[in-house]
Amino acid sequence: MHTPQLARVLGPWMAAAIVVGTVIGSGVFKKARNVAENVPESGLALSVWVLGGVLALLGALAYAEVATLFPRAGGNYVFLREGYGRMAGFLWGWVEFWIIRTGSIAALATMFTESFHDVLRQALYPGQTVDVLAFWPRQVFTVLVIAALAALNARGTRLGGGLQVIVTSVKVGSLLFIIALPFVVLAAVSEPQHPPRVEYLSPAWPGSFGGVNWSLYGAALVGVLWAYHGWMNIAPVAEEVTEPQRNIPRALLGGVLLLIALYCGANLAYYLVIPRDQMKELRNTTVATEFCLRLIGPVGSLLASAIVMTSVFGSLNGNLLVGPRLLFAMGKDGLAPAGLQRLHPAFGTPWVATVVLAGWSCLMLVGVGALTQYRVPVLPLGFADLDLNLPPNKAPFDVVTDFAMFGAVAFETLAVASIFVFRWTLPGAERPYRCWGYPAVPVVYCLIMAAVLANMFVTPEQRSEAQIGLGFMALGVVVYQIVYRGGRPA
């Protein structure tokens, strides 16, 4: 029987663009408000972004070794299956498909539509706050965006990868523009209306180490982890990367280092212009939009919305390129319907998996929108004491991203930890790349991520998502035992 194989068509630049381009989405433009809300001191808030980047780098140092051991389609699914068994691989696929990947796509698409709406409103009604599109027309437009990008990536991997390179280049340039803007304005205008002021960085640090609310710091870190989330996305398409033993580590480590520099620079620029007390109140716009508005007026607001829209578009495209490879791999292994491994006869892409992923993302988008628009409780009122209803006054974007981050933190930490398993079970395997600082680097990463995961159960704003996520994982165990324990269902 012929086993479908994906062609190696993604070169080093495309590989790097997948790492950087799927990470730079909405988080760096939006999540600074969440950090400011939880962390009062600017220096401490910036340290959250540094810590998030360091964690991504530590994880990448270990993850690159695992990815070069198994350069196959599926990424974490393959690592967890090989390291911990079939059920572990299935559970990752279960959570990633139903929550993480589709939740990310839904959140990114929502952010794209919001940014597009901002551009449209500012172009047609400058200085006004009217809604050009009502809630449900926006939802329909968002669904159409997902469908269009899914069709493009089903048309060809090289086509999707090429688009990723172009959009990622624009995104990197946009962040460099944000980083430089305060200093350019200060140099060009002798007395700008809102000059960058060092006073906005005060207070930078709490009066004492004991004055830090570590629970809120952890809640802020979850938001930052969303902004950095996606650096593992090279692994699911490893089967399509040329010279994977060389290009995967380069793309991972180089990409993460670039992200740290861009994210920390952008957030420092935000704090130079917007005081923390004002930043935390920006609920109806992104921090980037307010930042540009203060520096260069209404044109800046329009430009910022366009930047966010372009950035989210690229991340959305990357997720729709990468995501179907998990379903493709699970279909080949008998842990998902066999039809998901079907490749398009002309384009060689997993088109069935792409359609399924995009379809469920659209359903999640509409469902979460309805829940938050009409405040429908997740559970009947008689079970309200379980604290599993959606938090009041929480935006759909933040609800979806917290759901996605709970499953991501849990299973992606296990994927990084699989380096210990493979060092033990495959001691003689060829390792063109070996983790620098082993075993300390992966140990530190796993311990900190475990603390972040535990903190989600303590923080009221994230407890609901963590509890529901844990329950959904338990449901996955039941499904596996009933349907897949004996192999592919008849």
Q: 45: domain CATH number?
A: 1.20.1740.10
What's the rounded Cα separation, in Å, for the pair 34 and 280?
A: 7
Residue 460 lies in a domain: no
Do 78 and 72 form a contact (C-beta atoms < 8 A)?
yes
The answer as to whether 71 is a domain residue is: yes
| Least-confidence region, from 150-159, 212-221, 380-389, 445-454 | 380-389
Res 80: pLDDT:
96
Lowest model confidence (mean pLDDT) among 80-89, 135-144, 193-202, 318-327: 193-202
- Enclosing domain of residue 277: 19-369+397-455
pLDDT computed for residue 401 by the predictor: 59
Domain assignment present for 406: yes
User: Is the pLDDT at 321 greater than 60, yes or no?
Assistant: yes
Q: Which residue has the tokens 């299956």?
A: 81
Residue 468 counted as domain residue: no
Q: For residue 459, is pLDDT > 90?
A: no
* In a domain? residue 186: yes
Residue 475 inside a domain? The answer is no
Measured CA to CA, the distance from residue 374 to residue 372 in angstroms comes to 6
pLDDT for residue 380: 43
Can you give the pLDDT at residue 388? Answer: 42
Model pLDDT for residues 332-365, shown as the tens digit of each residue = 999 999 999 999 999 999 999 999 999 999 998 8
pTM score, whole prediction: 0.86
Within a 13 Å sphere around the CA of 304, how many CA atoms are in the beta-carbon half? Answer: 25
Q: Is there a domain that residue 442 lies in?
A: yes
Cα(199)–Cα(197) distance, integer angstroms:
5
Q: Can you tell me the mean pLDDT for 130-136?
A: 82
Q: Report yes or no on 11 lying in a domain.
A: no
The closest alpha carbon to 313, from 152, 124, 132, belongs to 152
Banded pLDDT at 383 (limits 50, 70, 90): very low
Q: How many domains does the chain have?
A: 1
CB atoms within 10 A of CB 4: 13
Q: What does DSSP assign to residue 10? A: B
